Amino acid sequence: MNTSAGERAKWRVEGVVEAPAEQVTEALLAVRPGPAGVDGNALVLAGDHTREAGAVTLEGGPDKFTGRFGGSGADYLELTVDRGTRSVGVQTWFGGTYTVEPEGAASRVVLRVHNVVPNSGLLGRKLAELGIESRLEKVLTSVLTALAAHVGAPAPAPATAK
């Protein structure tokens, strides 16, 4: 995977789930082999992957997972669950790290993105960066909504780029 929680991010997107950080973190770190983005599994993939690209089934574990999606199944992703840093790294069309920070009685979910379309060349990366903040806001808003539903919290406000 091309990302780590300590890497400097190019983009930061965040939003709040009205539930305790411990509860939201537990839901974030819940990743197991099988269908992703549903039934509390790999809720970081509840965003654009399952909505736009079709179902994703994860393999591997307990900390490193791979999956394929898209019509041909040729599109590849990686997830890394780091229980030490309490984060989930994802590498797909973007490489980033999801973390949860306490926000009073609520939880701030932060997505730090380090790269887009790795190995695509400069032109491919520049094209992928067009409108990236709004795309990442949509991705994180879907994740926030899935996390909130999983922990029984009210629907969250949309995520915002920082």
Alpha-carbon gap, residue 138 to 9, rounded angstroms: 18
Instruction: Quote the tokens at residue 147.
Output: 């996390």
Residue 146: half-sphere exposure toward Cβ, Cα within 13 Å: 25
- The answer, yes or no, to whether residue 82 has pLDDT greater than 90, is yes
Asked if residue 62 has a cis previous peptide bond (ω within 30° of 0), the answer is yes
Across the range 81-105, mean pLDDT stands at 93
Q: Which of 32-36, 54-58, 91-95 has the lowest mean pLDDT?
A: 54-58
**In 3D, which of 77, 3, 17 has the Cα closest to residue 45?**
77
Instruction: Quote the tokens at residue 6.
Output: 């300590």
Q: Mind listing the pLDDT tens digit for each residue in 30-54? A: 999 988 887 889 999 886 555 555 6
